Amino acid sequence: MKKNKLHPLITGTLILTLTGLASRLIGFFYRIYLARLFGEEGMGIYQLIGPVLSLSFSLTAAGYQTAISKLVAENTAKQKQHSFRPMLAGLSISLPLSLLCNLAIYHFSDYIAVTFLLEARTAPMLRVLSFSIPVVAVHACINGYFYGTKKTGVPAISQLFEQCVRVGCVFCLSTYALSKGVSLTINVAVLGLVIGEVGSMLVSVIAMYMVLWRPAHNLHPAHNLRPTTSCGMYRALMTMVLPLTANRIVLNLLQSVEAVSIPAKLRLYGYDNATALSVYGVLTGMAMPLIFFPNALTGSVSVLLLPMISEAYALKDMNKVKKYTLQTIKLCTLMGVVCMSVFLLLGRWVGSNLFHSDLAGHFIMTLGFLCPFLYLDTTLSSILQGLGMASRIFIMNVTSLLVRLGFVFWAIPVFGITGYLWGILASQILLSAMYLICLLRMKNVLKLNVGH
């Protein structure tokens, strides 16, 4: 019986981890290819559009995916059957919102590029990027349903397919253009991103269609669609979505300020514009993706922990909550220490031989100290989310980001990019400490409730 109870977490984590590692491996070599094709400055410009993508995802999709996953898991635990209502209700709000966001970014791309990103060359990239927003919204809502039912195969396959389509598209376009003597810009990477997202969405839509028509339901899709008009479901969904979305928007705005300010503060340190963008590109486009590479495992665990912790918490099964939490902390701490050792030993070699950048090697070695805290934070956040502590997570994340921003504004002009690396480490350690303290306090509260 114990093995059966653990089966969804083990199987789901294995599926997501294997596909996540494959996807990240492809992405890792893809980054190397882009760096060699467009150079360090090109990578820096490409990374500047990240805040816009993250902010649009937070506004239109992220909160809906999390809320759908949690509601589907709770409904499944209480009703002993899967519910489509959260997914369909979320989609009916997320999709129109994403289309409005698509329109706004497309028409105001020049203003956003010059005023907020401080780089006019990002404007055409933003126009292309805007078309990915509705696609991502549909994909996120469907993924929320599959995560909630612990059927991780569809999100995993769609993620891997998206990466393959993206890389294949950029490789084919760049190879063809170079063979014809046509000069390329980093815009081709954005086009590949959009095409990859479309492919990923199509996989999830086909999978959802097959579920709706599956004979086991003995229902025509019209019967499954009808309950979404329930005001109670919309109320339950938006009760979760609004604070989640507000939290993520605030966090992404702070992250956007951080991302845009780094090149600006590097110029205050003494770099010219090209050098500042190059250093920023090496850090965020080469070194940090490598540090986040092992996060495929912790990310997979965290995605599955949210519905499983929510389900156990809804059933008042605190022993299961405790078991999942302790196992996760042990796994992430061990993995973080191992990865830190590997990056410290091989970081310089990886930077010089794979990225052809000694600076990337220096960044990888320095950022290696983040690993034990970074991987632990990913899963602790998901556990606390499953326990209904979204507001506390928000406060702790904002505190951590403000510490990092402090280093951006006051340390970078004095110490250069090294000051920012210190800030990342300090904020991540602080976040780990706050998560653990919050979890320990929650444990004491639960003990008191059980005693009563």
- What pLDDT score does 397 carry? 87
- The structure tokens listed for 223 are 């019967």
Assigned token pair, 92: 């009916």
CA distance 302 to 431: 16
> DSSP for 97-115?
HHHHHHHHHHHTHHHIIII
- Boundaries of domain holding 200: 2-451
Share above pLDDT 70 across residues of the chain, in percent, rounded to a whole number: 84
Please state, in angstroms and rounded to a whole number, the distance separating the CA atoms of residues 31 and 371: 20
Report the pLDDT value the prediction gives residue 217, as an integer from 0 to 100. 47
DSSP-based three-state secondary structure for 271: coil
pLDDT of 227: 43
Residues in the chain: 452
How does pLDDT run across 403-442, given as a tens digit for each residue? 999 999 999 999 999 999 999 999 999 999 998 888 887 7
The kind and range of the H/E element at 381 are helix 371-386
Q: What angle do CA 21, 434, 423 make, to 5 degrees?
A: 70
Rounded to whole angstroms, the Cα distance separating 311 from 324 reads 12
Q: What is the pLDDT of residue 228?
A: 41
C-alpha distances in angstroms, 229 versus 99, 275, 290, 355, 360?
21, 55, 45, 53, 53
Over its C-alpha atoms, the chain yields an Rg (Å, rounded) of 22
Write the pLDDT tens digit of every residue in 134-147: 999 999 999 888 88
- Take residue 262 and report the two structure tokens written for it: 């780094």
Which among 392, 388, 428 has a CA at the least distance from the CA of 407? 428
- Determine the Cα–Cα distance for residues 284 and 190; give it in Å rounded to an integer: 16
Q: Other CB atoms closer than 10 Å to residue 402's CB: what's the count? A: 11
Tracing tokens 């993706």 back to the chain, one arrives at 289
Q: What is the per-residue pLDDT for 303? A: 60
Question: Helices H, strands E: what count in the chain?
Answer: 20, 0
Structure tokens, 124: 């055409």
Distance CA 93, CA 242 (A): 12
DSSP 369: G
Q: Is residue 89 within 8 Å of residue 51, measured between CB atoms?
A: no
How many whole angstroms separate alpha carbon 165 and alpha carbon 230?
38
Residues 6+ apart with CB under 8 A from 78: 314
d(CA 432, CA 442) in angstroms, rounded, equals 15
pLDDT of residue 148: 81
C-alpha to C-alpha distance for 436 and 332, rounded to whole angstroms: 13
CA distance 344 to 357: 16
* pLDDT of amino acid 297: 65
Query: pLDDT tens digits for the chain (452 residues)?
Result: 444 444 455 565 566 667 767 777 787 788 888 888 888 788 888 888 888 988 898 889 888 888 888 888 777 666 655 567 888 888 999 999 999 999 999 999 999 999 888 888 899 999 999 999 999 999 999 988 888 887 777 888 888 899 899 999 999 988 888 888 877 788 899 999 999 999 999 999 998 888 777 654 444 444 444 444 467 788 888 888 887 788 788 888 888 888 889 999 999 998 988 888 889 888 988 888 888 877 766 666 666 666 667 667 666 777 777 777 777 778 778 888 988 999 999 989 988 887 788 898 999 999 999 888 888 887 788 788 777 777 788 889 889 999 999 999 999 999 999 999 999 999 999 999 998 888 887 765 555 444 44
The 10s digit of each residue's pLDDT in 186-218 is 889 999 999 999 999 999 999 888 877 765 444
Tell me the three state secondary structure of residue 299: helix
Q: Is the pTM of the predicted complex or chain greater than 0.85?
A: no
| Cα–Cα distance, 107 to 359 (Å, whole number) | 38
